[in-house]
Structure 1
Amino acid sequence: MSAQADLRGDRQSELWRSLEGVNDPELDEPVTEMGFVERAEVLADGSVAIDFRLPTYWCSPNFAFLMLDGMRQALDALSWSPAYRIRLHDHMFAEEVNRGVEAGKTFGQIFGELAGDEDIAGLRETFARKAYLRRQEAMLLGLRKQGLTDREILGMDLLAYDTARLEGEEAIKQKPRYREALLLRWPGRRPTEPVFITWEGSPIPPEALGAYLAELRSVRINMEFNGALCRGLKTTRYKELEVVDGEPTLVDFILDRVAPRDCASRPAHS
């Protein structure tokens, strides 16, 4: 294999790693795992091409914008600073979103009057809160399974958290993600301060942990339900094939089968 091919392969791996850090804002799951990224390719000239498709034609444009904006930030951080093209397909506002994202516009600039009173900053915070709580629940439950008492868990600082051993796929997955969410929310937090605090920054009393976990469980169940719905809608939408000029082509047949509501068209709940 040539040095040029090696370089392209390394860049391709870096590209996918960067996209794995872009989450569906409502579900807190990587867009790559949700199957939304259908193409992410480093071209021969070093530029990048991304093709992106959401579960339905009606997915809320603010959700589409948040994900595409996340991709834009991920691509801007690539080590070789490539030119890139991101394309949203089969969406009612695909043309407006693609043109706006390419021009570096904000949500309000892209949609103008269509944006209405939509508060993108507020929406980002709502989803950041849900992600924080979901990741936190996984860690609290994981540490309980390790035999730690509630008092020991809630007294844990960042230094102890980093060295804690966990079992179970979900806890292991969420350990670095909760750390990231905590420090994003509280960037000045000292390593010796408690690692488990509410979104508002209050300590969690050990005697209140059971009730607190019940609240976190409701957040997780809502997110898991929406995630399952999104996956199901996308699978249903693209499960039929049509052959055109000898090539298989995805057929959008959901228009006649699903009412214009989906995981991203419902209002967000805190």
Structure 2
Amino acid sequence: MTTATRTSVDVLVWDALGTVLDPELDQPITDLGFVTEVRVREESSSACTALVRLRLPTYFCAPNFAYLMVADAHDAVRGVDAVTGVEIRLEDHFAAEEINAGAAAEQGFAKTFPRQAGGELADLRLTFQRKAHLACLERACRQLIQDGWQIERLARATLSDLCDGPDAESLLRRRADLGLATGPDARLFVDDHGDPVSAEKLPARLRFAQAVRVSVDGNAHFCRGLLETRYGTRVPKEDAR
């Protein structure tokens, strides 16, 4: 494997890690500064191992969140065609040893923490996917509200009414994650199960979505500050919303 090839694999691995989200903050771990190193080790002319080091804002970040990110990083990097082996190392965390071993063995959170875990993390992931959907919904429909759309009209809005851009694209990805309709004729305001929200219930839904969005954005900003304070390195700020 040539140096140029290793470099291209590095880029592919980094891009793959960019699809891994902090479940609570709904932002890529690459943007949050959680990835400290990506390196490709050549095993033979046709095989290489991707080595990735991760860090988190505090020593006591919740182990369930940490496990999700490490396990998702394994899955993402394994999906890179040029990679035949994966080593993901979470560092400077009180449960790093257990998380690294459990995620590498694909044994699941419950087996990794048999005394503490009440089960696997599917319900937790679903909870945060729903929060991410609400936050994206509030961002994506803001232009409609600024343009003067009233409640009755918003209740009839479809995805085709959204302005093209990153906010609309993010909303479509979150809807796809939840198995919600993503076609242009699909209703914009739906509940967690994909059922349309009535005009009577829509104001409360909007207020709740705004509160969730403010919470998600605030937590992301807070975690960036903690990471910078802990490691003394500046983390690029998220795009202004």
Segment drifting more, 198-207 vs 102-111: 198-207
What corresponds to 1:17 in structure 2? 15
What corresponds to 1:229 in structure 2? 222
What corresponds to 2:185 in structure 1? 192
- Could you state the TM-score of these two structures normalised by the residue count of structure 1? 0.76
SS of residue in 1 equivalent to 2:90: strand
What corresponds to 1:111 in structure 2? 113
Q: 1:94 aligns with which of 81, 93, 96?
A: 96
Q: Which amino acid aligns with 1:105?
A: Q
What corresponds to 1:139 in structure 2? 140
Segment drifting more, 179-188 vs 74-83: 179-188
Question: Where in structure 2 are the equivalents of 1:195-214 lying within 5 Å?
Answer: 195-206=188-199, 208-214=201-207
What corresponds to 2:5 in structure 1? 7
Mapped partners of 1:16, 1:155: distance in 2: 41
Instruction: Mark the CA change 1:107 to 1:51 in structure 2 (over 3 Å): closer, same or farther.
Output: same
What corresponds to 2:211 in structure 1? 218
Q: CA deviation at 1:200?
A: 2.7
Q: 2:163 aligns with which of 157, 165, 173?
A: 165
Instruction: Mark the CA change 1:38 to 1:182 in structure 2 (over 3 Å): closer, same or farther.
Output: same
Mapped partners of 1:179, 1:122: distance in 2: 21
Contact 1:40 1:49 in 2 (8 A): yes
SS of residue in 2 equivalent to 1:84: strand
Contact 1:133 1:199 in 2 (8 A): no
What corresponds to 1:83 in structure 2? 85
Mapped partners of 2:82, 2:144: distance in 1: 40
Segment drifting more, 149-158 vs 34-43: 149-158
Mapped partners of 1:64, 1:8: distance in 2: 28
What corresponds to 1:129 in structure 2? 130
RMSD: 2.4
Mapped partners of 1:196, 1:81: distance in 2: 41
Structure 1 gap segments, 5+ residues each: 167-171, 241-270
Instruction: Mark the CA change 1:190 to 1:51 in structure 2 (over 3 Å): closer, same or farther.
Output: same
Structure 2 gap segments, 5+ residues each: 234-241
Percent sequence identity is: 32
Q: CA deviation at 1:191?
A: 5.0
Q: Which amino acid aligns with 1:88?
A: L
Mapped partners of 2:109, 2:68: distance in 1: 9
Q: 1:71 aligns with which of 59, 62, 73?
A: 73
Q: 1:48 aligns with which of 22, 26, 50?
A: 50
